[in-house]
Amino acid sequence: MSVAVLARLQAEFGAKILETSSFRGDDEAIVAPSDWAAVAAFLRADSELVMDHFIDITAIDYPERTPQLPRFDVVLLVRSMSKNHRVRLKTRVQDGEELDTLVPVWRGANWTEREVFDMFGIRFRGHPDMRRILLYEEFVGYPLRKDYPIDKTQPLIEYRKEDNLEKLPPFGPTEGQPWNRIDWQARLEGRDMQVSPAIAVQQGQKHALSESSARAEGKPLPDEIPGKN
């Protein structure tokens, strides 16, 4: 059953399906952003696939794989109510690039696309109501991007200025465990030598630069970088 979905997509679209995979039983097909809406509409309309049950749209940020590959993965998850199979459709978009909306195909895409815009800043062309949904209009930036610092707050109203309010944060950026935590700010500014293994694979490197080799080359380790909290 599961292979049939990918085979059907490949038979219909041929080379437009850039990659397929079935990791742990999850079928995945990657298409170009220009084919995104067409493939989605086919998934819904085809009599063999009938992906009528909308599940989710989300995105993943890979700032380090640019410029070889576009920065964001946008992921669509759908399933078929009658056939009981699922598929994951993926596309890769640049920062600032607009993607066709899927609201005409599944109306359920409305809020999830708004959330992707809210969290990642990916706009959807033709969306009926492209507003922030979880955060407030005054918020600047997109928090789920890797380069947004997790503890950068943007208060809507001023905090009180009283004595005894200077509490220490309970955890801090390293959550009490400075070991092996990824500091994205340091990493994206090139101060951190750690590159995650998945990125290394995507960039064609054989191995990620390990901490021991960084030490051998005399480069600073993440823990030793001055100015890091």
Partner 1 sequence: MGALKTVMGGDAGFATTKLDALLNWARKYSLFQYPFATACCGMEFFAVAGPRYDVARFGAEAPRFSPRQSDVLWVVGTISQRQAPALKRIYEQMSDPKWVVAFGTCASCGGFYDNYTTIPGADKVIPVDIYIPGCPPRPEAVLDGLMLLMEKIEKGGNREAMTVPPRELPRLAQLRTRADTTIVSDHIGKMKEDK
Partner 2 sequence: MERIEEELEDESALELPTEPMRLNMGPSHPAMHGTIRMVLDLDGEIIKDVDIQPGYLHRGFEKSCERGTWAQVYPYADRLNYVSPMLNNVGFSLAVEKLIGITVPERCAYYRVILGELARIADHLTCNGAGAMELGAFTPFLWFLKVRDWIWDILERETGARMTHSFGRIGGMAKPPTETLKQDVLDILPQVEKVLLEAEGMLLRNRIFIDRTQGIGILKKDLAIEMGVTGAMLRSTGVDYDVRKAHPYSLYERFDFEVPIGHDGDNYDRFLVRTEEMRQSMRILEQAVAQMPDDGPINVEDVRIMMPPKDQVYNTIEGTIAHFKLVMEGLKPPVGEVYSYTEAGNGDMGFYIVSDGSGTPYRVRCRPPCFINLAICRDMLLDEMIADIVPTFGSVNMIGGECDR
67 preceded by a cis bond (ω within 30 of 0): yes
For residues 34 and 154, which CB has a smaller minimum distance to partner 1 in the complex?
154
Please enumerate, as own/partner, the contacts of 201-204 that have beta carbons within 8 Å and a separation of 24 or more: 202/62, 202/65, 202/68, 202/69, 203/64, 203/65, 203/68
Q: What is the C-alpha to C-alpha distance for residues 130 and 117, in angstroms, rounded to an integer?
A: 8
Compute the distance between CA of residue 93 and CA of residue 186 in angstroms, rounded to an integer.
24
Interface residue with partner 1, options 68, 165, 190, 227 (CB under 8 A) = 165
Q: Scan residues 106-145 and list those touching partner 1 (CB under 8 A).
A: 135-136, 143
Q: Which helix (H) or strand (E) holds 219?
A: none
* 188 near partner 2, judged by CB under 8 A: no
The minimum distance between CB 59 and partner 1, in angstroms, equals 18
User: Applying CB under 8 A, which of residues 2, 21, 26, 172 lies at the interface with partner 1?
Assistant: 172
Task: Check binding of 179 to partner 1 (CB under 8 A).
Answer: no
182 contributes a contact to partner 1 by CB under 8 A: no
At 199 the three-state DSSP class reads helix
Residues 117-156 close enough to bind partner 2 by CB under 8 A:
119, 132-136, 143-144, 146, 148, 150
Q: How many CB atoms lie within 10 A of CB 42?
A: 17
- Residue 61's contacts (CB-CB under 8 Å, 6 or more residues apart) are 71, 72, 120, 144, 145, 146
Residues near partner 2, by CB under 8 A: 23-24, 26, 52-56, 58, 60-61, 75, 77, 81, 84, 86, 88, 106-108, 110-112, 115, 119, 132-136, 143-144, 146, 148, 150, 173-175, 177, 179-182, 196-199, 201
Chain contacts with partner 1 (rule: CB under 8 A): 135-136, 143, 148-157, 159-160, 162, 164-165, 167, 169-172
